[in-house]
Amino acid sequence: MVNLDVMTISFEWTDEHKIIREAVRDFARTEVAPKIPEMDINQEYDRKILEKMGELGFLGVSIPQKYGGGGMDYISTAIVSEELEYVDTALRVAISVHNGLNSMGIYQWGTEEQKMKYLKPQAEGKKLAAYGLTEPNAGSDVAAMESTAKKDGDNYILNGSKIWISLAATADNILVFAKTDSSKGHRGISAFLIESGYKGVSSGSHKNKLGVRAGNTGFLNFDDVVIPQENLLGEEGEGFKIAMSCLDNGRFTVAAGSVGLAKASRDAAVKYAQERTSFNKKISEHQLVQRLIAHMNQGIEAAELLVLKAGWLKNIGRRNSRETAMAKWYATNVASQAADDAIQVHGAYGFSAEYPVERFWRNARGARIYEGTDQIQEIIQGQYAFGFRQDKPLRKDLPPYNPDE
Ligand SMILES: Cc1cc2nc3c(=O)[nH]c(=O)nc-3n(C[C@H](O)[C@H](O)[C@H](O)COP(=O)(O)OP(=O)(O)OC[C@H]3O[C@@H](n4cnc5c(N)ncnc54)[C@H](O)[C@@H]3O)c2cc1C
């Protein structure tokens, strides 16, 4: 149903949006893009690139200035995500976990002390942050997690392990989830802010991944890690809610990034189609090739609108779990199909690392698994449709965009 009291539509980018897009585009396409093919082939991760992103303000773009961020709206985070993933998914994954899953979670749920101690250096790009939810025996089924955090005087003692954690082997700070009461299912999960330097934290990297090979993905082990009480994020038992609200922020960046990946696939296909000839004409003149490009554009424009709608809801402080999940589900599939069709346009050359589209295809695949698989997004939409799931207010919603904060 259309809500008339908030129906203001503008497709104009603000000056701020244009400036941030230009800055990210220049950095990603000029400085980073030439390094990516080799990094991808050799599975090399370079922390210096993320440090530079921090210096340029991309790691705290929508965090208020008083907490070290850029003080821009949530659409700006989408622009950063889109422009980075136009060049490589690994760059956008860093935004998803550092900004979306960790920093915005602290902004939403943290105490003033936690924001000053952890959020500020993260938003300033001085510290890198990760999000540790997935475990060897618990992915989609978060409540099946086995990590525990037992109260011990003024501390918690953390034991367990996490896998498939982006930036695991390089992050300074980690938002980690563990059970404080194993008898209560998802209501027994709590969230903690920990540092990778804490005694008992160890990490390593996954090798030979299908995609995101220029980024770090790895595991974390916790062996009697002592966490001070003040590092509990939110309240005991609120971990599941916190994890899901962080996913509302992370999925938004995945959706926006997928728009960038789809555009990169489309642009590569258009360029190639204007160079290659068959049957004495440019392949761009074959209507079946044009159809592949037309479908890419159809998906890109619809995905972009879903991202903008979710970003607008965030800007005005409305719950957007359904809309963000929809944007993530749709945009990641658009990117996956666009990359697949871009390979088709390239013929056998698309099957080779000589052109970027095979990397786009491998990278696009992961986004249909992480931050909630296709099936989980589909279940979310089904549950909303039947009223099994509703947007109830959280104890703490993401604050609306406030340029004066
Ligand atoms: C590159 C990459 C980066 C990642 N980064 C992070 C990170 O930074 N932090 C983090 O915590 N995790 C991260 N993950 C993990 C990711 O979030 C999980 O892989 C994802 O949630 C799915 O969990 P799973 O792999 O255990 O699959 P499972 O949950 O085992 O699912 C397997 C299959 O069963 C289906 N399935 C499961 N339950 C249902 C159901 N109820 N109905 C229908 N189908 C179902 C799934 O859709 C899937 O097809 C990352 C993963 C990748 C690949």
Average pLDDT estimate for 167-193:
97
Regarding whether 359 and 254 lie in a shared domain, the answer is: yes
Regarding whether 251 and 378 lie in a shared domain, the answer is: yes
Regarding whether 100 and 38 lie in a shared domain, the answer is: yes
CB 126 within 8 A of CB 117: no
369 CA to centre of ligand 1 in angstroms? 5
Chain-centroid distance of CA 371 in Å reads 8
Instruction: Return the residue whose CA atom lies nearest to atom 52 of ligand 1.
Output: 370
Is 134 near ligand 1, meaning CB less than 6 Å away?
Answer: yes
What pLDDT sits at residue 4? 54
Number of domains in the chain: 3
pLDDT tens digit string along 139-154? 999 999 999 999 999 9
- On whether residue 400 sits in a domain, the answer given is no
Average pLDDT, the chain: 96
pLDDT tens digit string along 215-242? 999 999 999 999 999 999 999 999 999 9
How far apart (Å, rounded) are the C-alpha atoms in residues 100 and 324?
Answer: 12
SS3 218: strand
Regarding whether 157 and 33 lie in a shared domain, the answer is: no
Regarding whether 44 and 67 lie in a shared domain, the answer is: yes
Catalytic site residues?
371
135 CA to centre of ligand 1 in angstroms? 10
pTM: 0.97
SS3 346: helix
Average pLDDT estimate for 68-96:
98
Instruction: Return the residue whose CA atom lies nearest to atom 45 of ligand 1.
Output: 375
- On whether residue 390 sits in a domain, the answer given is no
* Better-predicted residue by pLDDT, 394 or 90: 90
Q: Using most ligand atoms within 8 A of CB, pick from 147, 164, 359, 389 the residue to mutate for ligand 1.
A: 164
Regarding whether 137 and 84 lie in a shared domain, the answer is: no
Q: Which residues pair with 138 in a beta bridge?
A: 135
**What are the contacts of 19-24 at 24+ separation with CB within 8 A?**
20/61, 20/70, 20/72, 20/76, 20/79, 20/80, 21/79, 21/83, 23/56, 24/56, 24/58, 24/79, 24/80, 24/83, 24/84
- Provide the pLDDT confidence category of residue 13 given band limits of 50, 70 and 90: very high
Regarding whether 259 and 233 lie in a shared domain, the answer is: no
CB 87 within 8 A of CB 32: yes
Q: Using most ligand atoms within 8 A of CB, pick from 133, 134, 365 the residue to mutate for ligand 1.
A: 134
197 CA to centre of ligand 1 in angstroms? 27
What is the domain range of residue 58?
8-127
Regarding whether 257 and 329 lie in a shared domain, the answer is: yes
Is 250 near ligand 1, meaning CB less than 6 Å away?
Answer: no
Q: Is the pLDDT of residue 404 over 90?
A: no
CA distances from 3 to 243, 280, 320 (A): 29, 55, 15
133 CA to centre of ligand 1 in angstroms? 10
What pLDDT sits at residue 231? 98
How far apart (Å, rounded) are the C-alpha atoms in residues 206 and 200?
Answer: 20
How far apart (Å, rounded) are the C-alpha atoms in residues 218 and 138?
Answer: 15
Regarding whether 300 and 179 lie in a shared domain, the answer is: no
